[in-house]
Structure 1
């Protein structure tokens, strides 16, 4: 006897109320359904159904067995569906949210590779520097650069760590001098990122592990690292920024790192998506692609 087939037959009989309806739903004969249920009862040594001329009623043992077998069958169906979704080709629309700087300077560099791998996807990328509600605003996935993620029902997968550095233009440093210790920043024009938890408090760790926090001041505040980078390039002041925003400027000598003997707590790159029972093929494809990408590359 195929016990799973017999369990499915019993479930259909109970849910549809007759052997005939169950047979039609399963695409087999009334005789086969009846035999499967009878063999199941024989194997269990218990009567599962009370049969009358008008209806079928589960016995006490039948109720217990039906509930347990229904959970088993649901779990099997879920497992089959999960594998099927994993193997399915990603299609449809994928809405991605990312911070402005990351989306334009980093994500835009590797997104074409993802599109080339999954040409049946239609990508809708929205970049902004506010925290969006993925579910309310209809996003499938988001990328976040942060030190601390707020509690939420979203699934968060860490991808990489991004170094944070202080930079200024050579012209600014020639005119104002380079800070040697964090407290020297009190005499400088510091460009602050307003979406930081404490924009005007810059914390440093020295080589020996000592922590120091400086209350900085400056004449420019911005909610995007791109604006701070542009201002630093123009000689406006000293900016604190993620390395991916300015690493090319530093390499070319257009910006100079300052306070290199001190470290600033890095920001972590996460991919976030709504918590669903089964991850859709398009979201799984994006998460897997991004995870593999940042495992293989030296980001900073």
Structure 2
């Protein structure tokens, strides 16, 4: 059976060639100059060739040394990368996370659960930014963002974390007063609470659970809002019907303060995305937060299709 390659000696050779000096390479590697010199000698004896020309003033690569350098440098780089990755994985996550979220999702979902995450990881700091405006992930040095709704930016790393329903809901008092529509087409004549920040926010599209029928209705109403959180008091007061993210009103549905108007129909689901800057991987602190969020959403009644 052939002997294993002398990986240590090849890595030392790569560092010597890079630095052009035995003593400087030894300092970089935390070794003695004698150890570095012996490793090169050992390698040349094993290969039965000269890899470095040595003079009192300088080192230079021989032809065989030049041919070997690229792969030797790769051995050094790959070894350093393996150690860094294992060290980061084994180490307790620590450091600073700059996190962005939409305002409503951040207030309703993130801010109540982040203290649990920080208690679990006492060496992690979080800088949370809540905004509904576009952000520059790279320019503003964000580590992670959670975005609700369509998101397209091919320069970033994007993965779907979960989906949520957007049922049509209303207060029982409204439905008793105005009547319960049996089909989405019967929304005509009802008061709708309309989102003014969404293009065609008064065009509501429904698909029956069995997929056999689709329906788009143009609704009207006296109350327009640019944030779904602003619609909740109006809904509870019986002002009308609205399409609401389920993560925001699931408690009201469970407690009967709101009712789903068309339980046999669905609207387009809302996606929840994890967004991070381009690169080869997230640091341990960010991976810890992503894992924490996935575990949390996997237990929530409003989260569907969670990737765990």
Fold shared per TM-score above 0.5: yes
Structure-1 residue corresponding to 2:85: 82
For residue 296 of structure 2, the aligned residue among 289, 293, 296 is 293
User: The residue matched to 2:141 in structure 1 has which SS?
Assistant: coil
Q: Secondary structure at the match of 2:185?
A: helix
Q: State the shift of 1:229 in Å.
A: 1.7
CA distance in 1, matches of 2:187, 2:54: 87
* Residue 72 (structure 1) aligned with residue 75 (structure 2): yes
Distance 1:60 1:241 in 2: 71
1:181 matched to which residue of 2?
Answer: 183
Deviations 1:51-76 (A, max 9, x none): 33432211233223111211222122
2-structure distance, mates of 1:97, 1:179: 39
CA contact (8 A) 1:115 1:121 kept: yes
User: Which residue is 1:11 aligned to?
Assistant: 14
Mapped contact 1:161–1:268 kept (Cα < 8 A) = yes
SS at match of 1:208: coil
Is the Cα–Cα contact under 8 Å of residues 10 and 75 in structure 2 kept in the other structure? Answer: no
CA distance in 1, matches of 2:12, 2:232: 67
| Equivalences for residues 98-247 of structure 1 within 5 A | 98-146=101-149, 148-196=150-198, 198-209=200-211, 210-247=213-250
* Unmatched runs of 5 consecutive residues or more in structure 1: none
Where does residue 306 of structure 2 map in the other structure? none
Q: CA deviation at 1:272?
A: 1.8
TM-score of the superposed pair, with normalisation by structure 1: 0.89
Could you say which residue in structure 1 is the equivalent of 2:285? 282
1:106: Cα distance to partner?
1.9
8 A contact 1:129–1:223 mirrored in 2: no
Partner of 2:256: 253
Q: Tell me, what secondary structure is at the counterpart of 2:154? A: coil
Unaligned runs of 5+ in 2: 304-308
SS of match in other structure, 1:15: helix
* C-alpha distance in structure 2 between counterparts of 1:15 and 1:251, whole Å: 67
Give the Cα–Cα distance (whole angstroms) in 2 for the partners of residues 23 and 108 of structure 1. Answer: 50
CA contact under 8 A between 1:48 and 1:58: conserved in structure 2? Answer: yes
Contact residue 172 and residue 257 of structure 2 kept, 8 A: yes
Q: CA RMSD, aligned part only? A: 2.3
Number of matched pairs: 299
- SS of 1:220 mapped into structure 2: strand
For 2:75 and 2:269, how far apart are their aligned partners in 1?
46
Check 1:25–1:253 CA distance in 2 against 1; reply closer, same or farther (3 A cut): closer
